[in-house]
Structure 1
């Protein structure tokens, strides 16, 4: 039938499915045309055993004398590329089914290679990276994110922020995710994070939505930048700037900057500014300065 449609095919016949199972995995073929009714086993049983022995998903076309929807559904479930009733078959139809199966296999092979390439890139990125679905469940992450969370990938995938973080942090993360879904723009924000050792860290989340094949927002991809060291230096610098190193209380610079802010606020609102300056400043129990007396004397 195929030889009569002016196409070049090299055809190998097997009358015994057991012989085919033994020889086909050792000899690569582009497509298998399989009768559903075989001696010893049926076509679906053959497919199941063949898939166990072969690493490559060779396209398989199933031929049957019965136009059974049940058999067709089972065939598709077993990964066949096409299902043809013998009474409807001809050379042209069979040729189209073969070409379609081979093209589908090539496309799936390219897609699989591309997905493996992307997974490899994600895995080697040193910055913690994660991706979630629309419902907020983690679909995957890289090794850096596992280390950051202090959990394995198996402990992360399928969970949401409430499962992995304390509620006070999870509520912020969930709220920011909702804002991102509502606006679908790149989102960057600073937040606190508590690691598996209950140590507080400062991080910057950078997140963006991704779409499905229909162009609909399907989830979130995000990275986490640990800025704890930088933030601690900022806090230390602020303390040195606004706190007296001897007494540990706010210094004159802090007072001057804040009194100016409060004064301008009062002017804008036509309000009165009140200052409580009746406290004495002491160090280790020894009075150093009575603020009220100092101001009065001035």
Structure 2
């Protein structure tokens, strides 16, 4: 039986969501195949949580743990850390140095997709449509009139490296920029400002399932709020309709672009990308490489619609990770 470390927690605002996602993965792994361990990663400590919530320190020299005088090594790491250091590749680089398989893409690919600016730059070169955008670092002089002339209003202000819609604002007037900048810079020292795209918003998962790159059924997002923000994602303030109510032409275009993005970024494991349709053309917004695994999360919903039970989805991720390492 293989020992699987389900890593969760992390250093970012997404800590609590990661803990929920990690617990769902831990509880749904096939215990006929795997012996799962909850591994919580924070800046202060790396620990394995025992069944009695007792904490066992992880040996960072070889990513092992000793429980009841028995040293346990891990056959694979299931990455459920949203944000840093799981989604930005930092922790995965450490695992790759140790030769430990993990369920995500290689460290470089994770870093690339986590950086919205760099990710968009790569995908534009592959002909994938995106919104117009501008980038600023903290401390830069920001000309609001130039932003409005270039992108128009409304527009979105986002942290360049963050997830779960933390730090995102929809700006409708020039007076709203100041607060939007402050909110975004709380999450990251780089920000991205994007033009507003009006159309049907969809989210689509792409996975390597049994060795085949496979798009999952798309989900249409109908937010009760002004956009698909944290409340809409995690607190029920949206309708999530799977499969999405889009035409056959739109679906074909979406599958083509989602797979193109997955391949262009040399992805492995899970991805879930957001698009907005302008007519029949899907415009890429962003890619999540450690999608949520909570009961409200989109990727498990999409897998279920594709006839893939959650336990099979998780087992496949581990099998593909070990096979391709």
TM-score for both structures, normalised by structure 1: 0.19
* Structure with a larger share of its residues in helix: 1
Higher RCO (C-alpha under 8 Å, 6+ residues apart): 2
TM-score for both structures, normalised by structure 2: 0.18
